[in-house]
């Protein structure tokens, strides 16, 4: 936990720096590849995932260590070749887990947030889930365990394998010559994120594109068919926490409402997007038929709300980095309190970007929560409490003021 937090304290500023470079290059090239609210939503989504991972809030049904201890053909001290085997093994497992997340209804809920952006940029790579509370795909690493790759090698290689998937989320890099035949490139991954029929559910590879070519899921990007990004059922919100559970909520409602027992039981493992016939008729959900005719989700980016949303992001990002900095010095319950506060804050300011009337109410809850924390700890996790209380009160006032402006379109959600 502590080591992972230390790694992220270096990785996160580096990723944000690369996003800034991509934005500047895109502007120089005349490509509008970033929108304010979309970018804030993406980074905020990455923050929620980071908090969950740092706190270790995932239930592992059968751990890799168990597979290694019981199934390994041999056991030895880590050797250089084990790191290579591990990298390939993780990529093979990643291909199949990624594919399952796309084609099985219940597993799509784990992945929808990553595809929810209607832009394709480095910030989009940070859209990672908080809904993956149960690790179900560890069994895909059985081949790696059989070959005697010890758990400590996995611990080293897994973050590297994950971070290596960041760079290809960009529209600015076109084709990459012979590398297109070996690794996943931006061109391959643009296809993967597109909702055009020809591109849908293709290119699941994470590092090596060979798996897609082996298992029949490869699709080359076609110049005459520009990718359109997002998901077939547009999420229509900037709130990453809501996005994480939209699909699951639809599954639950359909399972409860449908009259057929078989559909109640099978809906979870049907192909992604499948719904009972009676529910499609009674409760239709809009799905995009023509990607080129759909309009991107957007809310007014007035100067005040845009500036305030960026300020909120910076403050909460700073809090998250502060939590990582002190994580070795506080107990688990205190970590959870700090993380929960940041979760509530993210929910509040991203709801405000939706112009949702929930925003002031959630900001009020955040303020009460902050007061409870300060009352019990006597400080704000080592920082002056008055600064945080003033920030919370300002957040309440700003959300009320912004929503009071008559020219803004306000949603009721």
How does pLDDT run along the chain (413 residues), one tens digit per residue? 677 788 888 899 999 999 999 999 999 999 999 999 999 999 999 999 999 999 988 888 899 999 999 999 988 889 999 999 999 999 999 999 999 999 999 999 999 999 999 999 999 999 999 988 888 899 999 999 999 999 999 999 999 999 999 999 999 999 999 999 999 999 999 999 999 999 999 999 999 999 999 999 999 999 999 999 999 999 999 999 999 999 999 999 999 999 999 999 999 999 999 999 999 999 999 999 999 999 999 999 999 999 999 999 999 999 999 999 999 999 999 999 999 999 999 999 999 999 999 999 999 999 999 999 999 999 999 999 999 999 999 999 999 999 998 754 444 44
pLDDT score at 7: 85
pLDDT digits (tens, 9 = 90+) for 226-240: 999 999 999 999 999
pLDDT number for residue 2: 72
Would you state the pLDDT for residue 230? 97
Provide the whole-model pTM: 0.94
Handedness of CA 405, 362, 134, 148 (dihedral sign): positive
Q: How far apart are the first and last CA of the chain?
A: 36
Spatial separation of the C-alpha atoms in residues 45 and 346, rounded to whole Å:
9
Tokens of 335: 């970590």
Q: Is 183 helix (H, G, I), strand (E, B) or coil?
A: strand
The dihedrals phi and psi of 74, each to the nearest 5 degrees, come to -155, 165
What whole-number distance in Å separates Cα of residue 37 and Cα of residue 123?
11
Contact 129, 178 (CB under 8 A): no
- What would the DSSP string read from start to end of 10-65? HHHHHHHHHHHHHHHHHHHHT-----HHHHHHHHHHHHHHHHHHHHT--EESS-HH
State pLDDT tens for residues 89-109.
Answer: 999 999 999 999 999 999 999
Residue 42's nearest CA partner among 135, 146, 118, 154 is 118
């Amino acid at each position: 936990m502590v080591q992972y937090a230390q790694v992220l304290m270096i990785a996160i500023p580096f990723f944000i720096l690369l996003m800034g470079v991509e934005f500047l290059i895109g502007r120089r090239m005349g490509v509008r590849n970033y929108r304010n609210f979309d970018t804030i939503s993406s980074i905020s989504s990455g923050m929620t995932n980071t908090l969950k991972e740092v706190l270790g809030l995932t239930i592992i049904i059968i751990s890799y260590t168990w597979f290694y201890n019981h199934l390994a053909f041999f056991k030895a001290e880590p050797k250089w070749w084990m790191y290579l085997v591990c990298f390939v093994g993780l990529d093979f497992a990643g291909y199949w887990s990624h594919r399952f997340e796309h084609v099985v209804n219940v597993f799509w809920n784990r992945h929808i947030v990553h595809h929810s952006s209607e832009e394709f940029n480095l910030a989009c790579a940070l859209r990672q889930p908080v809904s993956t509370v149960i690790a179900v795909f560890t069994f895909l690493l059985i081949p790696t365990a059989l070959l005697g790759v010890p758990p400590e090698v996995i611990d080293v290689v897994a973050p590297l394998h994950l971070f290596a998937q960041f760079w290809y989320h960009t529209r600015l890099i076109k084709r990459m010559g012979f590398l297109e035949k070996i690794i996943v490139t931006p061109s391959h991954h643009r296809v993967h994120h597109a909702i055009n029929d020809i591109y849908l559910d293709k290119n699941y590879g994470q590092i090596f594109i060979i798996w897609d070519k082996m298992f029949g899921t490869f699709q080359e990007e076609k110049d005459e068919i520009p990718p359109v990004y997002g998901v077939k059922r547009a999420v229509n919100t900037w709130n990453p926490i809501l996005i994480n559970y939209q699909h699951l909520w639809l599954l639950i409602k359909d399972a409860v409402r449908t009259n057929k027992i078989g559909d109640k039981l099978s809906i979870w493992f049907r192909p992604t997007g499948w719904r009972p016939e009676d529910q499609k008729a009674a409760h239709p959900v809009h799905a995009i038929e023509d990607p080129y005719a759909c309009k991107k989700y957007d809310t007014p980016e007035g100067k005040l709300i845009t500036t305030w949303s960026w300020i909120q992001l910076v403050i909460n990002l700073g809090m998250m980095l502060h939590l990582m900095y002190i994580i070795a010095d506080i107990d688990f319950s205190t970590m959870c309190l700090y993380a929960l506060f940041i979760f509530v804050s993210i929910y509040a300011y991203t709801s405000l970007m939706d112009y949702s009337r929930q925003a002031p109410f959630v900001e009020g809850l955040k303020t009460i929560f902050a007061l409870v924390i300060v009352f019990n700890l006597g400080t704000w996790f080592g920082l002056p409490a008055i600064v945080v209380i003033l920030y919370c009160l300002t957040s309440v006032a700003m959300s009320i003021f912004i929503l009071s402006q008559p020219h803004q379109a306000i949603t009721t959600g």
